[in-house]
Amino acid sequence: MDWSAVPGYVRDNAYLGIVPALIGLVISVPLGIACVRWRWLYPPVLSVTSMLYAVPSLALFIVLIPYTGLTDTTVIIPLALFSLCVLVPNVVDGLRSVPDPVRQAATAMGFGTLRRLVRVELPVAVPIVIAGLRVAVVSSISLASIGQLIGVYSLGYLIVDGYQRDFLEEILVGGGLIIALALVCDLVLVLIRRLLTPWQPRRSKRELLPVVVTAPAQARELSRSAG
């Protein structure tokens, strides 16, 4: 098979995976802060994000085609919306995980609301937020390949081309590179978390797993709201 184009597909796929997760992060931090500040806001926000998450990516790409054309944007917007489903609950859980004495100590030291948020609460929330970001990046990288069906290039090209030519090796290379790319990005995020939170003890191999894997927090919240 022709390897010369492969680095380009890897780059496209990385772009289509990382950018949506970052956009999701930029949206979910203020949204999460608002949900902690005004508790009534959280259940409706969760309902909307989980409903959006339920829509198959291929269908969302197609809804956007008349507006954004066959461009990267058509793939990036739905993947960013999906990432909110993991990022918003993790930002909220992260902020709620700040122990009360820590918050009170910050206030006693003369920190105002904003300075306390930026200097104390958000740093404490970092591990849980990054756990969500890891899930968002890994999912986006693997979902980006579906964009190939509408002609947005990624490693999905190797899968589609391999299928059309009945060429098993190409499919395996495409799928394998997607998984490898996801794992590399996941590891980079673990390293970033270590750099950002040097005070955290370096624990066992369990550290390599995202802290929050499923959405039990979300389930609790939903059961509270839906009763």
Partner 1 sequence: MSFFSYAWDWIKQPQQWHGAESIPVRIVEQLGYTALALLLAAVIAIPLGILIGHSGRGGLAVVNVANAWRAIPTLGLLVLLAITLKNFTVAWLVPLVVLGIPPILVNAYEGVAGVDPELKDAARGMGMTPWQQIRKVEVPAATPLIVLGLRTGAIFVVATATIAAYIGLGGLGRYIIDGLATNNYGEVAGGALFVVLLALAVQLVFIGVRRLLVPAGLRKQARAS
Measure CA 227 to chain center: 28
58 sits near partner 1 (criterion: CB under 8 A): yes
Nearby residues of 149 by Cβ (< 8 Å), 6 or more positions away: 58, 61, 156, 160
Is the Cβ of residue 3 or residue 199 nearer to partner 1 in the bound state?
3
The token duo for 90 is 């993790």
Q: State which of residues 1, 109, 183, 188 lies at the interface with partner 1 (CB under 8 A).
A: 183
- Residues between 158 and 177 with contacts to partner 1, criterion CB under 8 A: 159-160, 162-163, 166, 168, 171-172, 174-175
Q: DSSP per residue over 56-89, as a string?
A: -HHHHHHHHHHHH-SSHHHHHHHHHHHHHHHHHH
148 sits near partner 1 (criterion: CB under 8 A): yes
The CA distance from 99 to 194, in Å, is 21
Q: How many residues does the chain have?
A: 227
Is the Cβ of residue 76 or residue 182 nearer to partner 1 in the bound state?
182
Residues that bind partner 1 (CB under 8 A): 50-51, 53-60, 62-67, 135, 138-139, 141-143, 145-146, 148-150, 155-156, 159-160, 162-163, 166, 168, 171-172, 174-175, 178-179, 182-183, 206, 209-210, 213-216, 218-220, 222-224, 226-227
